[in-house]
Copies of this chain bind each other. A is one copy, B any other.
Amino acid sequence: MPDTVRIETAKAETTTFREVMAEIIQRITEGPWGPGSLLPGEVELAEEFGVSRTTMNRALREVSELGFLDRKRKAGTRVRMAPIRQARFEMPLVRAEIEKTGAAYRYQLVSRDVILAPDWLRERMRLKARARVVHLLCLHFADGVAFQLEDRWINAQALPLATEQDFSAVGPNEWLVATVPFSEVEISFLAQAADAQMVAHLGHAPGDPVFCSERATWWQNAAVTLVTLAHRRGYRMTTRY
């Protein structure tokens, strides 16, 4: 009988690493593990929680990735003095972003040029002297209303195919993700004053603050593309957790 009871209890006691995570976070935010304190070792904790070390390790690793803990071999696991606040944003294709709201998506090419890269761009994309680039200006509409203005530069040397594309039907973003991979990405968010293009296409007043995201990508140390996305008035980039 005792055996049976123990087995049943054991079955009911199954603990997942998520439950362990929750308990750990609670001990950090409310309980005994204040900022800077040193946690017991994995083995000891695993015993206390009645889980395997593998499970305890995963729980600790994920709590650590949330920014609460600092883990070092030999030194042990320590609660961060100030938890690292992280903001994670998912940036889908404009098309997906618009269609998810139920609105109809429309794409329009505003202008297309193949030119010598200006100095600031050469520096920004680490291009060689006299490099040729494709410069595109595109609009993305949601239900007929301008949603986003895309100002894109493509390195023609790294991507000769781009000079042959006319981008009148398919946007450069969708063409690029299907055509070239990337090994290095740099993303920035910034506030910019509305310039003539934004005034003309997005309906801003001149000088209005515009939320822009900029993305530069490289593939095997060669610049691929640099794009600035100017968002509609009042746009916010938001995330929750």
Contact = CB atoms under 8 A, between A and B. Distances in A.
Interface of A: 29-30, 35, 67, 82-93, 96, 174, 177-178, 181-182, 184-193, 207-212, 215, 235-241
A211 B191 contact: yes
Contacts of A190: 191, 211, 235-237
B188 A191 contact: no
A231 to B, nearest CB: 8
B187 A35 contact: no
A187 B87 contact: yes
Closest 8 CB pairs between A and B? Answer: A29-B181, A191-B191, A209-B209, A191-B209, A191-B211, A188-B238, A85-B91, A189-B237
Nearest to A174: B82
Contact residues of A: prevailing secondary structure: strand
Contact of A89 (B87, B178, B186): B87
B191 A210 contact: yes
Nearest to A217: B85
Contacts of A91: 84-87
Contact of A192 (B35, B85, B191, B239): B191
26 contacts: A29-B182, A35-B178, A82-B93, A84-B91, A84-B92, A85-B91, A85-B92, A87-B91, A87-B187, A87-B189, A88-B89, A184-B240, A186-B239, A187-B240, A188-B237, A188-B239, A189-B189, A189-B238, A190-B191, A190-B235, A191-B191, A191-B209, A191-B211, A191-B235, A208-B209, A209-B210
